[in-house]
Every structure is written in C-alpha cells, then in structure tokens.
Amino acid sequence: PHSKSTLYAFVDVYFLLPEYRNGNTGIRLFMAMEEAMRARMKTAGRTKMVLIGRGRLAHNPQEILERLGWKAVETAYTKLLEA
C-alpha cells in the first residue's frame, strides 16, 4: 500500500523505567504514541498511516500491541557475522 496518502512509522525503540512497569503504563505509552501519530498524519495531510512495531524476543511487545488492535504480519531473523 505505498501511496502518497500513506505515512509509515517504525516503532522500534521504547523504554519505561522499572518503577513505571506496572499496571497499564505500557499500554498508555503506546496509546499516546498512536494519538501523536494521528495528529502527525493530519498535519501532513495524509489519510492513512501504517505503524510498524518491532521488539526483541526477550522483551516482546506482542501482548500490548495485540491488545491495541495491531496485527502480526511477518517474522524477521537476524544473524551477526564477525570477521
């Protein structure tokens, strides 16, 4: 869906201090980000925005993202090559 009416946002770095990692603080963080992205979309005069969320397996955001209506669409693999 690449078009002039679509913006793309890559969400791959987020952090909460340990003392705030309780209750629904993480969900509120992502909700605030979505609201900021909606405002950015309006400012840019776009009708759609695709949010692409990533997270390491050790700190997987899957539960939060799915709770907010995000859908898993692909799996990524990495491999470190060293000289």
Interior CA angle at 75 toward 49 and 66, to 5°?
Answer: 55
For residue 57 the two structure tokens come to 């397996």
For residue 2, what pLDDT is reported?
Answer: 62
CA-based nearest residue to 71, from 56, 58, 53 = 53
For residue 14 the two structure tokens come to 């987020």
CA-based nearest residue to 30, from 6, 12, 57, 45 = 12
Which tens digits make up the pLDDT trace of 1-53? 567 788 888 888 888 899 988 889 989 999 999 999 999 989 988 888 888 88
